[in-house]
């Protein structure tokens, strides 16, 4: 009997199908032993705009108009997530700190409401402990320096509330760091990149054990921080500039600095940063992974989906349930098991442990309690308590006891 071409076509399709399933099976197998850690998810912001943070009115099992819900998290094998405690730049110098505290509170309440599925995490060990328990480790990242209102005291308090990364800017300058829009020419540089206070902030983050996130900052700031930070840094949701020349992405020279510093670039899935157009697909996201691996190394790659923070996501990566398909695609592209495991979570865990080690090594360093110079933050919504009444006096120390008494008397008027 002769077999027809049609028969062989069917065999071919079946074989291809089986091969595709093989990659997906292997992806799931790798994800059973290595946690998938994603750098940035904006579900908390969706809960803010959809429900004004009234979590009692929401069921995260059945919520169906977001990229993220509990069934999708399970299907996607999402083992650890940095949830963004994001508040918009419009809140800068207004109620940014309160609103950020409210998003932090919301993330804690999410963990309390779904203890079977989510577990709050604030260390590299917590991520592994949650993984063993088959729960999604939930960490907090603050997206934008405006959230701390130029205050190291606010930064430290937020660390105490469990915040483990700070993105230095969102899409606006702070009084001490420039954002990526400076590189597009649409916003003037205000700080020459990173100011003296900004440099002190990095040191304080190193001392606390908070990860420095360089997504959203200008290239000048990326380079400066890579020089001055003792600990490695992350890009929680940024892709490769050479593949899509958006200023939100990371240029080659910075990728190589990140490699030297052993940091991690967690690839953003937003269509506009994947292809620099409104359309994208899974394969084009994998191109960013391939590219960073080629010009730097698989040891600096991670996942930073930006789910629920963007209006357009690639075909094939519609929501958080789709991560295993991307992992399968990397395997199909000949990524080794070890390279995939590094990208899944080992790289981020390495950075986190290095950050914790720097924190431990600085245990004897006193907290930085020198406030930002008043003239750098003067605005109608800020009072000047604590600063010398006369701007020319730059330090309290030379004040005589007599003057202190006078200052106190005046302050009670
Ligand atoms: C989405 O959820 C809403 C509210 O629970 C429900 O009315 C609707 O039928 C759901 N839609 C789908 C497609 O499941
Ligand atoms: C972990 O969760 C998955 C998805 O819900 C489930 O299929 C699996 O049985 C769980 N494993 C353990 C050890 O609980
Ligand atoms: C993804 O998009 C590119 C460019 O449009 C196209 O060439 C490619 O075939 C697409 N891949 C898939 C898997 O759809
Ligand atoms: C993967 O490796 C195999 C064997 O080395 C090679 O034949 C194939 O072309 C490679 N595929 C890709 C997508 O690089
Ligand atoms: Zn962002």
Q: Which member of 67, 146, 216, 288 is catalytic?
A: 216
Centroid of ligand 3 to alpha carbon of 338 (angstroms): 27
Instruction: Break the chain into its structural domains and give their ranges.
Output: 12-378, 383-413
Cα 63 to averaged position of ligand 1 atoms, centre (Å): 8
For the question of residue 143 being annotated catalytic, the response is yes
Q: How far is the CA of 133 from the centre of ligand 2 (A)?
A: 9
CA of 128 to the centre of ligand 5 (A): 26
- Locate the ligand 4 atom nearest the alpha carbon of residue 333 and give its number: 13
Question: What pLDDT band is residue 6 in, cutting at 50, 70 and 90?
Answer: low
How far from the centroid of its chain's Cα atoms is residue 210's Cα? 12
Report yes or no: 371 and 387 within 8 Å, Cβ to Cβ: yes
Please give the pLDDT value at position 389. Answer: 85
Return the structure tokens found at 162: 């469990």
Residue 53: left if φ>0, alpha if ψ -120 to 50, beta else—which one?
left
Could you tell me the CATH superfamily of domain 12-378? Metal-dependent hydrolases (3.20.20.140)
**Residue among 334, 335, 336 to mutate when testing ligand 4 (max atoms within 8 A of CB):** 334
Q: Whose CA is nearest to atom 4 of ligand 2?
A: 74
CB 78 within 8 A of CB 317: no
99-130 b/e with 16+ CB inside 10 Å = b?
bbbbbbebbeebbeebeebbbbbbbbebbbeb
Cα 194 from Cα 197, distance rounded (Å): 8
The pair of three-digit structure tokens given for residue 395, joined into one six-digit string: 């330090």
The angle subtended at Cα 271 by Cα 74 and Cα 89, nearest 5°, is 90
For residue 276, the Cα-to-chain-centroid distance in whole angstroms is: 21
Lowest mean pLDDT among 26-35, 196-205, 213-222, 386-395: 386-395
Residue whose CB lies within 8 A of the most ligand 2 atoms, among 131, 134, 136, 321, for a mutation test = 134
Ligand nearest to the CA of 141: 5
The string of pLDDT tens digits covering residues 168-224 is: 999 999 999 999 999 999 999 999 999 999 999 999 999 999 999 999 999 999 999
Q: Is 288 a catalytic residue?
A: no
The tens digit of pLDDT for each residue in 238-281 reads 999 999 999 999 999 999 999 999 999 999 999 999 999 999 99
pLDDT tens digits along 73-104: 999 999 999 999 999 999 999 999 999 999 99
The pLDDT assigned to 240 comes to 99
Whether the pTM exceeds 0.85: the reply is yes
């Amino acid at each position: 009997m002769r077999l027809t071409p049609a028969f062989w076509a069917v065999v071919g399709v079946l074989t291809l199908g089986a091969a595709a399933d093989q990659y997906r099976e292997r992806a799931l197998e790798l994800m059973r032993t290595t946690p998938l850690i994603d750098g940035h998810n904006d579900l908390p912001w969706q809960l803010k705009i959809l429900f004004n943070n009234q979590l009692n009115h929401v069921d995260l099992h059945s919520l169906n108009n977001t990229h993220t819900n509990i069934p999708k998290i399970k299907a996607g094998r999402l083992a650890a997530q940095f949830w963004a405690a994001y508040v918009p730049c419009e809140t800068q110098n207004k109620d940014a700190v309160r609103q950020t505290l409210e998003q932090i509170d919301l993330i804690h309440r999410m963990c309390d409401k779904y203890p079977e599925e989510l577990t709050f995490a604030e260390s590299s060990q917590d991520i592994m402990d949650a993984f063993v328990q088959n729960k999604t480790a939930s960490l907090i990242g603050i997206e934008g320096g405006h959230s701390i209102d130029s205050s190291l005291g606010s930064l430290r308090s937020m660390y105490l509330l469990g915040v483990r990364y700070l993105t230095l800017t969102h899409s606006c300058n702070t009084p001490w760091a420039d954002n990526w829009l400076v590189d597009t020419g649409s916003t003037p540089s205000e700080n020459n990149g990173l100011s003296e206070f900004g440099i002190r902030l990095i040191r304080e983050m190193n001392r606390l054990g908070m990860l420095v996130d360089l997504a959203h900052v200008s290239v000048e700031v990326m380079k400066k921080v890579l020089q001055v930070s003792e600990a490695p840094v992350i890009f929680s949701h940024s892709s490769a500039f050479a593949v899509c020349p958006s200023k939100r992405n990371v240029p080659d020279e910075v990728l190589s600095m990140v490699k030297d510093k052993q940091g991690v670039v967690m690839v953003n899935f937003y269509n506009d940063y994947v292809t620099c157009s409104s359309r994208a697909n899974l394969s084009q996201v994998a191109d960013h992974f391939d590219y960073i691996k080629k010009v730097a190394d698989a040891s600096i790659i991670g996942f930073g989906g930006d789910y629920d923070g963007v209006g357009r996501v690639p075909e094939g990566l519609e929501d958080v349930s789709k991560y295993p398909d991307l992992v399968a695609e990397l395997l199909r592209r000949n990524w080794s098991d070890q390279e995939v495991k590094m990208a899944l979570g080992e790289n981020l865990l390495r950075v986190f442990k290095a950050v914790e080690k720097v924190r431990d090594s600085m245990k004897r360093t006193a907290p930085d309690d020198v406030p930002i110079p008043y003239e750098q933050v003067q605005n109608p919504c800020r009072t000047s308590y604590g600063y010398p009444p006369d701007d020319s006096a730059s330090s309290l120390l030379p004040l005589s006891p007599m003057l202190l008494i006078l200052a106190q008397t005046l302050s009670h008027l």
